Amino acid sequence: MDTDYPIETWNPIVGCKHHCYGDGCWAARIALRLKDNPYVKRYRDGFDHPKLIAKELRKTWKPNTVVFVVSMGDMWGRWIEDRWIKRVLEACQNSPRTIFFFETKNPRRYYDWLELIPENAILSSTIEANSDYNLSEAPEVKERYAAMKQLEWGRKHISIEPIVDFDLEVFLRWIKDIKPVIVSVGYDNYGCNLPEPSLSKTMKLIEELKKFTKVEKKQLREKASHAK
């Protein structure tokens, strides 16, 4: 998130079953590294065994801080229990002037919680391109697009990261339809061998996005030589 406010991360839920990028997502890699660490219990059962971390719910946050809620998983995944989501959203109410940032690959699930999500929250979804490449077990990008487009929320964010090859015209229309206040664009950082677009194509996308929204540039580079 490109913001002038300090950014914190908060993981009251950890774990994910979307298995993105051949289990190459950074969160899965960190969890694997910590799995046998005697001082960190939360990843012991593996990243694809999501958990509520109850002690995290006691945390409160400073005003005018952006808090990324659940960077180490997807708290809106279909397997997450309703009561966990409810407890996290209730805990957000203890910090009414904090800006909570939620991100998911299952944005349809936001719909059930709109009354409890803090008013100033930013609701985000990752949409890597307008085509699926069987990169994960998450809902298809077309489904994410439809859900984000229909979502009535003032502050929407789209993460195009890790970017994969796209049809410029169609993808731009998708993002325009969603009406995000900001879009982040970046390439894979972890050597996941993704079907990447050329840098010039990505720069063209960014140029067009800037005509109607704010763009946060993440890692931009030529497509990897190993990319499909």
Binding residues for ligand SF4, rule: CB under 6 A, are 16, 18-20, 25, 27-28, 73-74, 105, 136, 138
Backbone angles phi, psi at 145, to 5 degrees: -60, -50
CB-CB neighbours of 16 under 10 Å: 28
Residue closer to ligand SF4 by CB (options 20, 89) is 20
- Alpha helices (H) along the chain: 26-34, 82-92, 141-150, 168-178, 199-209
Q: How far is the CB of 218 from ligand SF4 (least distance, A)?
A: 14
Q: How far is the CB of 144 from ligand SF4 (least distance, A)?
A: 11
Residue closer to ligand SF4 by CB (options 47, 174) is 47
CA gap 152, 168 in Å, rounded: 25
Q: How far is the CB of 97 from ligand SF4 (least distance, A)?
A: 28
CB-CB neighbours of 112 under 10 Å: 11
Residue closer to ligand SF4 by CB (options 160, 172) is 160
Residue closer to ligand SF4 by CB (options 74, 196) is 74
Q: How far is the CB of 107 from ligand SF4 (least distance, A)?
A: 12
CA gap 171, 192 in Å, rounded: 22
